Every structure is written in structure tokens, then in C-alpha cells.
Chains A and B, each alone.
Chain A
Amino acid sequence: MYTFSSKLKTFSFVLMILGAIGIGVGFWQAPKTIEDVEKILADSHHGHEAAHVEKVAHDTEAHAEPAHSEVAVVDSTKAIVTDSVHATHEAVDSTAVAVAPVADNHDAHKKETVAHEADHDKEHAEHVLHQLQNKPWAALYVACIFFMLISVGVLAFYAIQYAAQAGWSPILFRVMEGITAYLLPGSIIFFILLVAAGMHWNHLFVWMDPNIVDPTHAKFDKLIFLKKGWLSVGRFLATAAIILVVWNWVRFKFRQNSIAQDTATDNAPYKKNFKLAAFFLVFFIVSESIMSWDWIMSVDPHWYSTLFGWYVFASFFVSGITVIAMITLYLKSKGYLEHVNTSHIHDLAKFMFGMSIFWAYLWYSQFMLIWYSNIPEEVTYFVTRIEYYKLPFFGMLAFNLIFPFLILINTDFKRLTWIVVMAGIVILFGHYIDFFNMIMPATVGDQWFIGIPEIGSLFFFLGLFIFVVFSALTKAPIEPKGNPFIEESKHFHY
């Protein structure tokens, strides 16, 4: 039996307390009124010529703004901004190019121009206010969904081991069950966040604003209106509840059967888990796609990508496998899991390597087609990221592809503890940035920075994750017995 070391427990509590303080400070620091924002903007721009350029960029974003409800105007500026990004001109030239036609369009509406300019500053301030108010919520959301999906990824990996009747892995089942224990607390907190969004306590999901689908309202957005059948708060929360309940139920049954197999006289609990795994994997791949549209893609309600579900899956799947490898190595270093040998670590590292490349393949497949076709509705997604999130957007490629590829390609390196742990830390950090890049641009826009709420949220959920996972590991023998493949797993040698 594993005992939760008091050092690690203290560490997890320190993380949670620091994180909770950080989250609190983040909410407290967020501006409350438009006046606060105007002060922030005045401080930061301070006679900056770029202010107008930024305003133009804002107007071209998906957020429906009354002054620019004319689709033609929005689209033409978008297209020009897009092209200018890829043209070889200097950045200064390209923004100038982008601004000029907008000015022309403004001239075309001369009657409105005066009112326009006055409205603009106020609208801009309101827009920034919403973004800054979203910031602590979005930071919380990124950390919450990331750690919850790690446990979901491990659950899927665990189910694959059962469904494939894998012989090498049963020795690691208790580690995987420990990680999936986080699913219950993780999904409860996550569901509360979704309900908070549904109650309009934040503006993470712009489509939840009832005005946006009201044809008589100034904020009316036709594209979101056409998607109203899917994008409704009731449907959204009901789907989330069903998905989370089934995932948690499956996890509960897996664990129950796995414990029962330890003392069983036959393989009945194992067979139940085999059938459950087959059911779960079918349910999972459908529900995983739906959850990725709902919980991640719908923060950009105008944009869609048909392989988004796979892309998100690859991201949290590789993160989950990495966590299995790291926790296994930690337990091994503490003298537990005596039958785990370097061949098991080698296999996990191969999965880390392979899934990192799989993630990069999907990232590139999504990026390349949209970049090449350059359709304004689609390409804004990447324009926003390249213009405002250049470092995290391209930096994550180094973390998630180049580094793991070069370090884990060597067979011998996959068996070295320090290499696997180092690659694991880099992979987890890179995929955290990946989730950051998926949520932040649509919710916080160009107002992002890594501040107290972002670090606080990461700390809080990391602390909670460590606490829940290692508490769960103490509750059952760390090496399962009775699994028909356990002997093969103990003697696994590659």
C-alpha cells in the first residue's frame, strides 16, 4: 500500500492555497466599470498612434458590434488584414494598408461618421472591459478543463488497454485509476464553471448573450442566429451533464471491477471491464468530439474546424500518457511498483513520442488548409493568434513537437528517468499553452498577459490534482492482483 508522503501533501496544499489567493486577487483586480478601463487604456496608449489600428482590428473580430453590422465592411477589412499578415511587407506597412480601406468605408457612410467616432471610443472601452473581466474566468477555465481532460485522457488510455487486452500495462492500472480519480472533483468544478457562464456571470461564450440572437437588437449576429438550434444554454448544459455523468459512471465501474478482481476467484470482473471498455470507447469518441465543440470551439462561435475534436483529443491524450509516465517514475523512485521495469517506461515514452507527432500532424493539418485557402471567416482564427499570440502560438510547436521529437527519438533515451521526466514537463507545459491558445484569444483577445490569475489557476488545479490523485493511490494496493495479464505484465521485457 502506498502512503501519501507528508511532504507532497504539504506541497499540494501550498499550491492550492497560493492558487486560491491568486484566483481571488485576479477577480478582485479585474476592472469593474468602463471608467476603470478608460483609465487603463489612457495609461497604456498614451498618445499612441496605434490605438486606431487596434480599434480596426477589434471591429473585424467576430464579436458583433452595432456600428459594423454591415457584413461587407467587416469582411473586406478582414480579408485585407489577413493578406497583409502573409505579405512580405513590413508590419507597419501592412497595418497602414489595412487601415486605408476602412477609412474609405467610413467615408462612404459620411452621415454616420461623426457619431461613429464618438461611439468608437466608448465601444472599445466596453469591449476591453468585457475582455478584462473575462480574464480571471478564462484563466480559471483553462486550468480547470486542462486538468480534467488529463484524467479523461488517462481514462481513454486505460479503456484502450482493456479493450486491446494489452499484456504489458496491467501493472500500471492502479496508477491510471489514481489519475482518473481526479475526474469526479474536476468535472464538478468544471460543470459549476459552465453553469456560471450560462448564468451570464461571465462572457466566455459570446453566443450565450440573448441579445445576439434577437433580430431586433443592435447586437444581432446572423451567423450565431443560424446556429441557435445547437448553441443554446439549455442544450449546452444538458449535453455537458450527460457526458460528464457517463464518464464518471464508467470510471466508477472500472475502479469497482478492478478492485473486485483483486480478490475474485474467476475473471468475471475483468470481463465486465472488457465490455465496459468497448462501450466506453465508442461513447467516448462521439462525446469527446461534442465536448470539444461545446466547451472549446464555441468560444469562437463563427469559426469551425472539422478535425477539432481529434486535435483536442491528441492534446489531452498525450498529456495524460505523460502524467502516467511521470507518476509511475515518481512512485518507482519512492520504492513502490517493484515490477515496473525500464521496458514499461520505454513503452510509455514511445507513446509520448508518437502522440506528440500525432498532435503536430493534426495541428498542421488544421493550420495548413485554413492558411492556404485564406477564407476570411476561417483564417481570422489564426490571424488573431499570429498577431496577438505569436510567442505562445509558435512557442508551443517547439515544446510539443520539436523538443519531444529530438529528445525522445533515441531508443536508449526513452529508458532514462531524467530524460522522460524532462520531456514530460516540457510536453505538459506545451499542451497547457495549447489550451491557453484555444480559449484566450476569443475571450480575452489582445488584452492577455500571464498574470496572477493565470498562475494562480494553474497552481490551484495542480495542487488539487496532486492531492486527489495521490490520495486515491493510497486507497488500494499499488499493484493489482488477479488480472489475467498481470504475470505477463510483470515479466514484460522488450
Chain B
Amino acid sequence: MKQFILTQKQPVINPNIPVEADVISPDIFAKKSIEEIKKLIIWRGNRQLALEEIFSLSGAEHAGDSPGEIEILLTGELSKYKHIGEKMSEGKITIRGSIGMHLGSLMSGGKIVVEGDAHDFAGANMTGGEIHIQGNAGHYLGGSMRGNWRGMSGGKIKVDGNVLNECGIWMRKGIIEIDGSATMFLGMHMHRGTIIVHGDVIERAGAEMTGGEVIILGKLHKNLPSFEFKEIIDKLPVEGFGTIKGPLLVFVGDFAERKQGKMFLLKKKNEHLID
């Protein structure tokens, strides 16, 4: 492994101005020496800066030819840093702290670990690879870029905390696992794939879904009227995850669209939905 450590320089100048940092990706670091990497251009607001003006870099002398061999370690107050790991195909990025929007969007492989929170659109339109967010995630986790009706189409996202609205919107493949809770429109417009939420969900889960599976192991406070209760099952095998023990309530919907989507709710916590 060739490791690069990027530490934000202190004091942070203009911390509230967004930074477009899509160059921080193993695919772009590959085949460059550390001196070349230091000179990579990022945008802060309307200003172009070299990477070394914001970060102090240390690590291997040369990144080598294969992005898969590269590990990037980011430290600092990065909640305004956008597009980190965008379009990456291999390698690993670890972020010590919170990160801004579009983390790992369009990524096709490799792994990103965030030790804090992630902002909106994390893993948007990703086609493969893995994202592990140890804190909370924002809106549109594993969703689609603005306007795109084809969202996440592969890979895995794991969130240890909570997520906000429209998680997994337009999802077509892959798996999203959330340990905490979700707010509204979980799995909206979902086409295929799996979303597992261990905590509670407020309402409107699976709105306009046309396929795929939404599994809620906490309480769904309010169900959409366009979902129909079908049966109770004891256990559910989930590809790439294992078997979930029930009993589980099975709902199909969304009837506002074509009723091919499935929602599985833990019976113990969701008796209020079948009264």
C-alpha cells in the first residue's frame, strides 16, 4: 500500500466557502509523484488553489501505477469539501472527521471510510465499491444526481448513524444498510436493490417504488395508503447480507405506480400498521 496523508493546514482560511476537491481520488493520484500531487488544482469558491496550499502532504515518494495500491488519509474540518473520491475505481480513502457533499459519487470500486458524518448525495449514482460512514449521513444517500432517473446501480453503503430524506432514491442495484433511523421518502422511486434500516423511519417509505426491497427493523410511524399488506413471513434471506429473522410483515406497493416493490417490516414494532 502507498499511503498519502493529507492534513488540513491550520488555521483554516475561509472555512465556510465550499471547496471542490474531486482531485482527491486514488485514480487521479496514480502515476504521479508526491510533488505532482501537491500541485493538483482544487477550487475554493471562485479561486483555484494547489492542493498543498490547503493540506500538508506526506507519504510515498511516488504513487505507483495502480490506483488500487493507494490509500489516502484525510484529516481536518472537511464538511465543506465536496466530490471527494468522485469517480474512483480502486483504492481506499479514509476520512478522519466529517465530509461534505457528493462523497464517492459515481464511484465504481474501492472503499471510502468516513469516521464522522457525511453530507448530502454521498454515494450518488455509484456503480460499485463500498462506503462506510461511521457517523450520520445527509439527504439523498446512495441516491441519484439531480435529474437522473437512474440512481445507485451497485456497491454497498453502510451507515452507523442516521440518514435524512430520500435515501436510495431511484436505486437500481446494490445494498444500503443503516444502523440508525431514517426520515422521509426512504427508497423513493426505487427500482431494484435493497435498503435495510435497523432503526425507526418516520413516514412515506417506498413512495412510488416500482421494485426492490425496503426492510425496516424498527418502527415505521406511518405507512403510505398506497401499500397493501400481504402476509407475514418468519425469515427473509437477503443477498449479500444474510438472513433476517422475523416475523416480518410484507407490504407490496406502490399502487400509485406498479405494485412490484416490497416492503418488509418487523412485526414486533409495526403491529399498528395492520390493525
Chain A complexes with chain B: no
